Chain A
């Protein structure tokens, strides 16, 4: 296939953003809305086509595109395997939902918002497609600019503090990764991922390099104790911003762990597993407890995100098939469910201007349709069988039990705690007495809101009952990662 489909998928949103930028008129946003919906939907169709024509029985990278970029140094290399394709589809799927949600709720400077989201989509898809470390870093970092603006311009009262915190935390983590990438270039002679995968990095370098990559991914995941930017960013970001942040930006780090930390530094990954396990367990239990005490719904979901991402890191570092596939599944499931939960909170926030749990109660009496969907997602978040949330957590715990009972048992408590804070929140918001007059005058969700929520709901339930398409797609690639990991460890043992 000569058609550069990956480049097309990456740069199509950018083109759309450029069109909006050119046709930008003050107080006139209908053309911008059409352009943005059109480009994002076209991109979604393209990714579906990509998924359809993806060869699931092939372990290596497909659709590889290669161009000379920095002559003599770096090639612009793109390619996907069974892991990245799912994230690309997720990104392309979430973006139109975000666009529709901001058409509903964003009142000021809509055109700029749409431009920012489309540019962000370009960078996010770029992260998942790039096969060169420098290109990866470029897209990984570039995403900060639009997100900084989204939080800062359209955010809540403490937006400036949150935007700064988000930007500086992530940048601080990432610059160390840049140093590591440059070091790899001089140590191995290339930054092409497939080449590094073959050539291997010397054992003595692996530990420090792993830590440098870890500093970046741990901030982005976010892992305890560098998770503090996330609740702030989520609370202050506008709904669409929170959705993108939770659904995709956090997944970049999980993807990074899986692709780069495991792929390039197998020995160091094995060595640092206890560290990751400890931090994941702390994240799961501690942030769940913190989530119990939140009175802001968005903050509660933000802390639950930290806990869920704890499962993801736990699963990745079990190095077995159940664990890794579980965390992949957990990431996709979290991408859908937390996005939907943020959209639900957004629905309430648009109507009342409040996100506080105590200002609601008895919502079910006035917004029955909304409440139904909201409860489905709450149950999905706590891992009810039949939703995607269950399969992810189940597989991760399965993988964890295989290697360490203590870790698995401690992680299991997180499932219980998650049920506790989620259900308690649902009880206080949806059921109970209405002690706020405002709630009694609310209108139920409109057609657009219902559409996007129902689509998310269907996806969550379909893949909850029938996870095969997702697992099937990633299976061979995950096997490849595990195989490579085992080989490296054996080689290392023999050398000892």
Chain B
């Protein structure tokens, strides 16, 4: 058991959650204490991961694997969770969601994601996935007095349970056809002629595609995005997506590396479908959270296009993409926290009209974020797409590249629509002057990153090169 220090971050996180739970139960009005404690715990876990940053090691009969790849994603989700905690603080209090369970449930889902990322075994992977999903069901319906939020929770639960079931069925098939639950052993024994294993692969992929809300398993996304409170939507839009993509890459890299062609065909289809549906369906949306839901669907399409290549450069481009995607979404959702009139948060896009006259800085942030989401140079979003298409064309998948590039034009249309409403239309509603440093700091950092990214676009890429080589 000398390798136990490999799993120290997870153990610390778990003990931290228990401690926070105790504090929450035994103190009255303990929300703010638990919140601060949670942020401290997450920071501590980041510290632990960074100190143990290193090579690839396995433990527990090779079922748990710690490598730079999983460490990178762990840090990514921890940092974005901390930002969500900090920037959504005001929102949570205004919505009277300031119950101590909120940070604790989020931390439980993070714990589940840690195990998903580090899993090297189907059983451990599934346990992590379920821990994560259960926490997310609760989160979706955390605003329990609100009928839309409850509906979102139920919808998410039913569909997600179904997909988890399919995934579990896939896992069992895979075990049946290969005789092992360990990723490495599956990878060795799986060969193309094994039709049963291909069935298993399809089922597993369905479950994972559901998690990243790729078409045709995207139906829950708009409703949950709209129904859940904005801070939860922020979490949903960012963290589980990153983990889902990481797991897809992990599966492709390890257990399914021999049947990559079959897998590729499906991913290409999912990717193209997501890009097209995400861009077309967003055009008619009136609620900004629904719009962002469809936008995230199309972004997942681009990210999956990088995965579809099946090459290291493709995976790298996807990870760059998801990193920039997270930064863009953190900024955009933080802007939503500022859409407040008379103490109520509004979600209608038309409420933004004429914002540039009243609140020029907020409008300018929206401008940068939305042009970046649309992938217009020289903003960060362009480079995210650029690297993906770079690797897609490298793998000679021209149709995928052309369709992807053309859908960026379609999606530019609805991003422009929001900018049009902000900048060209006349002012209707006056937003409250929210004086909250943490929200503004998040927006500022995000916009600063996106505008200055062009100075050194290879910064994430070179970081990732160290991860894989």
Interface residues of A (CB under 8 A from B): 24, 69-73, 112, 134, 137-139, 141-142, 144-145, 148-149, 152-153, 159-160, 163-164, 167-168, 171-172, 175-176, 178-179, 182-183, 185-186
The count of A-to-B residue pairs whose CB atoms sit within 8 angstroms is 85
User: Told that A145-B376, A168-B409 touch, could you supply 19 new A-B pairs with CB distance under 8 A?
Assistant: A24-B360, A69-B456, A112-B360, A138-B378, A139-B377, A141-B376, A142-B377, A142-B378, A152-B420, A152-B424, A160-B424, A163-B420, A163-B424, A164-B413, A164-B416, A164-B420, A168-B416, A171-B409, A182-B390
Which residue of A has the minimal Cβ distance to B393?
A182
Q: Mark B393-430, 1 if CB is under 8 A from A, else 0.
A: 11000100110011011001100100110011000000
| Chain B residues within 8 Å of A112, by CB | 360
Nearest CB of B to A182, in Å: 5
Q: Given contacts A69-B458, A72-B458, is CB(A182)–CB(B389) below 8 Å? A: yes
Bound CA span A402–B46, Å = 73
Bound CA span A153–B457, Å = 31
| Chain A residues within 8 Å of B195, by CB | none
Contact of B51 with A by CB under 8 A: no
Q: Given contacts A69-B458, A145-B376, A186-B393, is CB(A179)–CB(B412) below 8 Å? A: no
Nearest CB of B to A445, in Å: 31
Bound CA span A149–B366, Å = 13
Contact of B3 with A by CB under 8 A: no
| Chain A residues within 8 Å of B456, by CB | 69
25 contacts between A and B (CB under 8 A): A24-B360, A69-B457, A70-B458, A71-B462, A112-B360, A137-B377, A138-B378, A139-B378, A141-B377, A142-B378, A145-B376, A148-B416, A152-B420, A153-B424, A163-B420, A168-B409, A168-B413, A171-B409, A171-B412, A172-B406, A175-B405, A175-B409, A178-B386, A182-B389, A183-B398
Q: Is A178 a contact partner of B457 (Cβ separation < 8 A)?
A: no
Q: Given contacts A138-B377, A145-B371, is CB(A175)–CB(B416) below 8 Å? A: no
| Chain B residues within 8 Å of A179, by CB | 389, 393, 398, 401-402, 405
Contact of B454 with A by CB under 8 A: yes
Bound CA span A183–B402, Å = 11
Q: Is B390 a contact partner of A185 (Cβ separation < 8 A)?
A: yes
Bound CA span A70–B390, Å = 13
Nearest CB of A to B388, in Å: 10
Nearest CB of B to A444, in Å: 34
| Chain B residues within 8 Å of A168, by CB | 409, 412-413, 416
Bound CA span A183–B398, Å = 9
Q: Is A159 a contact partner of B424 (Cβ separation < 8 A)?
A: yes
| Chain A residues within 8 Å of B44, by CB | none
Q: B144-183: which have CB < 8 Å to A?
A: none
Interface residues of B (CB under 8 A from A): 356, 360, 371, 376-378, 382, 386, 389-390, 393-394, 398, 401-402, 405-406, 408-409, 412-413, 416, 419-420, 423-424, 454, 456-458, 461-462
Q: Is A73 a contact partner of B393 (Cβ separation < 8 A)?
A: no
| Chain B residues within 8 Å of A185, by CB | 390
Nearest CB of B to A22, in Å: 12
Which residue of B has the minimal Cβ distance to A164?
B416
Which of A72, A73, A144, A186 contacts B376 (CB under 8 A)?
A144
8 closest A-B pairs by CB: A175-B405, A70-B458, A71-B458, A138-B377, A152-B424, A182-B393, A141-B377, A172-B409
Q: Given contacts A70-B457, A142-B376, A185-B390, is CB(A176)–CB(B405) below 8 Å? A: yes
Nearest CB of A to B274, in Å: 18
Q: Given contacts A141-B376, A164-B413, A183-B393, is CB(A175)–CB(B458) below 8 Å? A: no
| Chain B residues within 8 Å of A70, by CB | 457-458, 461
Q: Is A153 a contact partner of B462 (Cβ separation < 8 A)?
A: no
| Chain B residues within 8 Å of A149, by CB | 423
Bound CA span A145–B375, Å = 11
Bound CA span A167–B412, Å = 9
Q: Given contacts A138-B377, A141-B377, A160-B424, is CB(A178)–CB(B405) below 8 Å? A: yes
| Chain A residues within 8 Å of B454, by CB | 138
| Chain B residues within 8 Å of A24, by CB | 360
| Chain A residues within 8 Å of B405, by CB | 175-176, 178-179
Nearest CB of A to B422, in Å: 10
Which residue of B has the minimal Cβ distance to A149?
B423
| Chain A residues within 8 Å of B382, by CB | 138, 141
Bound CA span A176–B461, Å = 25
Which residue of B has the minimal Cβ distance to A178?
B405
Bound CA span A141–B356, Å = 23
Which residue of B has the minimal Cβ distance to A183?
B393
Bound CA span A139–B386, Å = 14
Counting chain A CB atoms within 10 Å of each CB, which of B371, B377, B389, B457 scores highest?
A: B377
Bound CA span A149–B413, Å = 14
| Chain B residues within 8 Å of A163, by CB | 420, 424
Bound CA span A163–B360, Å = 20
Nearest CB of A to B366, in Å: 12
| Chain B residues within 8 Å of A148, by CB | 416, 419
Which residue of B has the minimal Cβ distance to A140?
B377
Nearest CB of A to B448, in Å: 13
Bound CA span A168–B415, Å = 12
